[in-house]
Chain A
Amino acid sequence: MEPIHTQVLAAANRLAAADGTFAIAGLPAMLPQLNAATVRTHVASRCCVNAPSHHQSRYRYFRALRRGVYRIEPAFRHATRRGRQPIASQERILAQVDAGVDATLVAASLAMTPTERLETMRRAARSLDGLHRS
């Protein structure tokens, strides 16, 4: 089962407006499997970056804007939002970047064992380091 804080973050992402803001009052109804007080505590305390100093804040998901209104911090705003967005836009971009993948390099990599892939990459990184130093 997903941890409560990730369930709360996912629900907040579903509830939030485009700018990431949401009203805490609307969240418990989206998480009927959880105790409403637990949900509110996660938003206002456990996962709030500007919670009062005596609160034990552990996850930096939300910022309190005013009474009852929070905003998802940008780093976490996309956690589920992007995951549920139509991916047509990504596919359009992918159609462009597909051409940049060198299939021969990928094929050569696939012919190796995982350890060989890692060691080949390490050697390449070392060569790049040498070039940067020279």
Chain B
Amino acid sequence: MTPDYESILTTLDDHKVDFVIVGAIALVLQGSARVTRDLDICYAREQANLERLARALKPLAPTLRGAPPDLPFTLDVATLKAGLNFTLQSTAGDLDLLGEITGIGGYAAVQRLSIAMPVYGRDQRVLSLDGLERAKRAAGRLKDLADLAEIREIRRLSR
């Protein structure tokens, strides 16, 4: 299915969830020409935000991606508290919830490295090129290095 990013981002924004768009979608928003699918967000792990996040995602019927379909799963505050990172599929597409970003840290550190960007008519926090570079360098996989090359090109063309 083609992801419906607008639905996911709108519902998160409607519920005032504290989150930052990270990963490949952040790279695309910054100017990358790559194609990706799943939306990665880094979310604040304060109790109130977990409540807002669980409430926001409920209408999208999130389940664990790749898990057996009969595996019971409810994305509620207790579930969010018990874990850190969740790879989900939903009626609007794949969504990864990340409590931390390798090379950066938790939400507060990620938020500091984010910028506001208009996406579907709303200001969203998106990981900056500096933040993306830190995360990519720390992850260090071959695909991350390819992304670093693209970040370098984005910077060069943005001057």
Contact = CB atoms under 8 A, between A and B. Distances in A.
Interface stretch (B12-20, B51-59, B69-77, B151-159): B151-159
Contacts of B140: 78, 82, 90
Given A115-B118, A129-B2, A109 B103 contact: no
How many A residues are at the interface, by size bracket? 35 or more
10 contacts: A79-B138, A98-B153, A101-B146, A105-B33, A107-B157, A115-B119, A117-B29, A121-B28, A121-B35, A129-B2
Interface of A: 1-3, 6, 58-60, 76, 78-80, 82-83, 87, 90, 93-94, 97-98, 100-103, 105-110, 113-115, 117-118, 121-122, 124-126, 128-129
B137 A87 contact: yes
Contacts of A101: 146, 149-150, 152-153
Main secondary structure of the interface of A (DSSP, over half): helix
Nearest to A102: B33
Interface string B118-149: 11110000100000001001111010011011
A82 B148 CA distance: 15
